[in-house]
Amino acid sequence: MGVLLMLMTVGGVMAAIVLLFVSYLAKMTWLRTFVFGGVAVWFVFYAAMLIGFSIFSSEYVLAQNEPKEFCGFYIDCHMHTAVTGVRTAKTIGDRTANGEFYIVKMKVFSDAKETTLGLITVDAKILDDQKRAYQRDLAAEANLGEQPPFETKIAPAQSFEKEIVFDLPADAKAPRLDLKEGYGIDHAIEAVLVDDEDSIFHKRNYFKIAQQTNIAGVK
């Protein structure tokens, strides 16, 4: 529905521009007033839909192996990711955690039938119960060995796994992973796309990060 409303808005604005041009050429004041009034009513309606869907949305936490889908061009939702395992360690190679390393194994897969696809500019961070955000520890990840980038292109029905690392303090409770992808222009469009996870004020879908294996260190 969000994509349809966005297309209707774009089409309506283009039609309004044409009608305004006609109204100025023909000096039709009534048409000009009608167009401005119609555009104003539509944008009030769109804003109400955008904010309303976001306010009444619900946060959802995905369990282990439960996939999250990503929609290319906002329609073809073929790319998916899932958390398949979590382990913790105090050291990874020559890196020692300030708190504790959380090593999160991710699976990336596609259910496309014909097209080779990939995620775009992936941003992954962990949030705790105090809404503090923690970025990936790329230096620690480098000590895990070669990892495929999130943006790796995969053929239909293919998949790959990778591990990402976060350094979490001891007081970080209920950690959950927030994963999103796309270019800056994608996020700008999605911010005003009705009922999109990335739209303004909308609640997000997170991955549950539950410790399953504790190890002394990773070499």
If we measure between CA atoms, which residue out of 44, 20, 22 comes closest to residue 33?
Answer: 20
Q: Give me the CATH code for the 61-218 domain, please.
A: 2.60.40.1240
If we measure between CA atoms, which residue out of 109, 123, 118, 106 comes closest to residue 190?
Answer: 123
Q: How many CB atoms lie within 10 A of CB 150?
A: 20
Q: How many CB atoms lie within 10 A of CB 119?
A: 22
DSSP state of 63: P
Integer-rounded Cα Rg, in Å, for the chain is: 23
CA atoms of 68 and 203, how far apart (whole Å): 14
From residue 61, give the alpha-carbon distance in Å to each of 89, 154, 203.
24, 26, 11
pLDDT truncated to tens, each residue of the chain (219 aa)? Answer: 677 888 888 898 999 999 999 998 988 999 999 999 999 999 999 999 999 999 999 999 999 999 999 886 556 788 999 999 999 999 999 999 999 999 999 999 998 888 888 999 999 999 999 999 999 999 999 999 899 999 999 998 889 999 999 999 999 999 999 999 988 888 888 888 898 898 999 999 999 998 666 665 676
| Residue 152 token pair | 């790796």
